[in-house]
């Protein structure tokens, strides 16, 4: 098993233009296989951590802090549980501009349907109307059930329902009804504001 791993390490190292000696033989610098393995693991750790550290640059500066909630969906209130149930019922339904049914939703159509079915509440039909009528809140104040809005092509064109743990549910143009992360490289720089109803 160890020999298989060492041979795999030699193959991996050769991808980077470096071939480690086989275990049991000394390299030209007197280093054994264990030293090369440690160097390789260190290099992998640096690459992984470097990739995590560089993600902030993709998000842009000046963004608000994400919500500080820690509640898991299973600890959610009954109202949020009902929103999860509606989401599970429609998850994967296709995107359709102007749509308000399982045959196809746009983002505000899904929000309106979810609020009506889960909470018995009627919301304004469009994202512009939702922005105008909802109570403004800061991102760090957002709690499950609040609406989050995103700026695409220079104006607020997309919205979803925040569900906790930096997650929101929405009808995306590419994948239909789905769950996404506010902290993703796509959504975080596009976040614009939040509303509470």
**Residue 95 C-alpha from the chain's centroid:** 19
Query: Are 165 and 67 contacting, i.e. CB atoms less than 8 angstroms apart?
Result: no
Q: Which of 36, 82, 166, 170 is catalytic?
A: 170
Q: Which of 107, 140, 166, 185 is catalytic?
A: 107
CB atoms within 10 A of CB 95: 20
Output the six-digit token pair for 26: 């000394």
* 107 given a catalytic annotation: yes
Output the six-digit token pair for 82: 């009902």
Query: Are 72 and 164 contacting, i.e. CB atoms less than 8 angstroms apart?
Result: yes
Output the six-digit token pair for 196: 């509470």
Q: Give the CA angle between residues 98, 99, 100 to the nearest 5°.
A: 125
* 140 given a catalytic annotation: no
Q: Which of 36, 82, 158, 166 is catalytic?
A: 158
Q: Please count the residues of the chain.
A: 197
Query: Are 52 and 116 contacting, i.e. CB atoms less than 8 angstroms apart?
Result: no
* 33 given a catalytic annotation: no
Active site residues: 107, 158, 170
């Amino acid at each position: 098993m160890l020999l298989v791993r060492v041979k795999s390490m030699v193959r991996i190292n050769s991808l980077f233009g470096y071939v480690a000696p086989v275990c049991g033989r000394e390299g030209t610098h007197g280093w054994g296989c264990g030293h090369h393995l440690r160097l390789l693991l260190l290099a992998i750790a640096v690459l992984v951590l470097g990739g995590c550290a560089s993600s902030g640059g993709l998000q842009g500066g000046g963004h608000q802090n994400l919500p500080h909630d820690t509640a898991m969906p299973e600890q959610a209130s009954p109202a949020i549980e009902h929103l999860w149930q509606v989401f599970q019922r429609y998850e994967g339904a296709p995107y359709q501009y102007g749509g308000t049914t399982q045959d196809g939703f746009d983002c505000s159509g899904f929000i309106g349907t979810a609020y009506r079915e889960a909470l018995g509440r009627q919301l304004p039909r469009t994202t512009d109307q939702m922005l105008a009528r909802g109570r403004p809140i800061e991102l760090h104040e957002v709690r499950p059930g609040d609406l989050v809005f995103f700026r695409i092509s220079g104006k607020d064109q997309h919205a979803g329902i925040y569900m906790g743990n930096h997650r929101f549910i929405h009808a995306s143009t590419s994948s239909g009804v789905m769950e996404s992360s506010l902290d993703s490289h796509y959504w975080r720089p596009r976040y614009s504001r939040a509303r509470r109803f």
